[in-house]
Amino acid sequence: MKNIFAIVFIAAASVAVAQKQVVSAYNANKSGDYKAAAGYIEEAITIEKAAIKDKTWRYRGEIYLNIANDSALSVEFPNALWVAKDSYTKAKELDVKSNYEREIITGLGLVQTTAGNQGITDYTSENYTGAAAKFDLSAEVAGMFDVIDTMAVFNAALCYEKSGDVDLAVARYKTCGSYGYQVPNVYLFVANLLRQDNRVEEALTELQAARELFPREQSLIIEELNIYLESKDYERAENNLKLAAEGDPTNEILWFSLGSVYDNLGKSDLASEAYLKALELDAAYFDANYNLGAMYFNEAVQGINAANDMWKPRMTKAESAEQKALEDAAKEKFIEARPFLEAAHETNPEDIDTIRSLRDIYARTGQDELMLKMSGLLK
């Protein structure tokens, strides 16, 4: 009988100790002594009688949330927000009758808000690693309530990018993309990150997948094209765009991009054909008009330079004739370039390169009034 009483006494004492620690934690938290409260509550959760009660974990969540909002203590307890989140989650699990559901949801909501606000503060102070973790936490808590906080995910991606963590940045940007947030830009960010990390083939894979979702997005096409051109992989650039253009013949962006590849390859006739196909589909397409006009303009300049290079004090009749032929051909190229550059200027009247090119064309073709007009625009 003595043994039974002893066991009952020990159990009662254990309950008393557990209750004392929880009450002490509550009172210390209420009086603002959050560090002492944390000490009491940490001891309480080691005692089984306290650890099985949702109240203990709710108090713990509140204590650590207060610590996280205390500028001095948060340095000493850098994981306070995560501890608060875990505590409220445990409380939710133990609150089987949902008697304190509202309090727990409120607590988790405060964790989410605090994490987001502190993420912004960390970002402003250029603590990008800390900011990324806070934004991740904010998104995680939102997800516990089946809410996708795409802004928090995007902010985390940006912070991981700035902190140099390419893999996590890519993962977060792709998460944004999967929910349609900031698309198609996020796919461009992914490609740029991988490209800068010398993972060119991965960047191309991501771009090609994104282009299936956004086949008319010029930035994605141009980014893929730039990768090919940068690596001087002209054959793959040409083949890739030819297949794409043939598969989607009404996509003027693909024809323009193919023209740009041919232009870079020095295949002027093919470039001209591709640019003209783009313009058949969209006559006001600035880039196609400008590139085609610029290509003819550059050919004209090359002709003028070649004619000038022939000059010498005494030229034979044949040499003079050849020089004149080069000058005439160059003038024809200037004339050929003019309507496309004029169309580009009409679409974008403020583009300086277009205005400058038109000024030179008008000067070469004797259109003084128009030349002066372009000169005036440049001023």
pLDDT tens string 191-220: 999 999 999 999 999 999 998 999 878 788
Torsional sign, CA 165, 167, 168, 174: positive
CB neighbour list of residue 107: distance below 8 Å, 6 or more residues apart? 58, 61, 62, 65, 84, 88, 91
Residues shown for the chain: 379
Torsional sign, CA 284, 285, 288, 290: positive
pLDDT of residue 265: 86
pLDDT at 367 over 80: yes
Res. 91 pLDDT band, cuts 50 70 90: very high
Position 161: which residue type? E
Q: How far apart are CA 136 and CA 142, in angstroms?
A: 10
Res. 5 pLDDT band, cuts 50 70 90: very low
Selection from 48, 59, 52, 57 nearest residue 14 by Cα: 48
Res. 3 pLDDT band, cuts 50 70 90: low
Max intra-chain CA distance, the chain: 135
Tell me the average pLDDT across 111-126: 97
pLDDT of residue 8: 42
Contact between 285 and 316 (Cβ < 8 Å): no
pTM for this entry: 0.72
Per-chain mean pLDDT for the chain: 91
User: Which pLDDT tens digit goes with each residue over 297-307?
Assistant: 999 999 999 98
pLDDT of residue 231: 83
Res. 223 pLDDT band, cuts 50 70 90: confident
Q: How far apart are CA 283 and CA 260, in angstroms?
A: 17
How is 138-198 classified by DSSP, letter by letter? HHHHHHTTT---HHHHHHHHHHHHHHT-HHHHHHHHHHHHHTTTTTTHHHHHHHHHHHHTT
Tell me the average pLDDT across 271-295: 96
Q: How far apart are CA 340 and CA 354, in angstroms?
A: 10
Res. 10 pLDDT band, cuts 50 70 90: very low
Q: Tokens in use for 347?
A: 């679409």
To the nearest whole percent, how much of the chain has pLDDT over 90?
A: 74
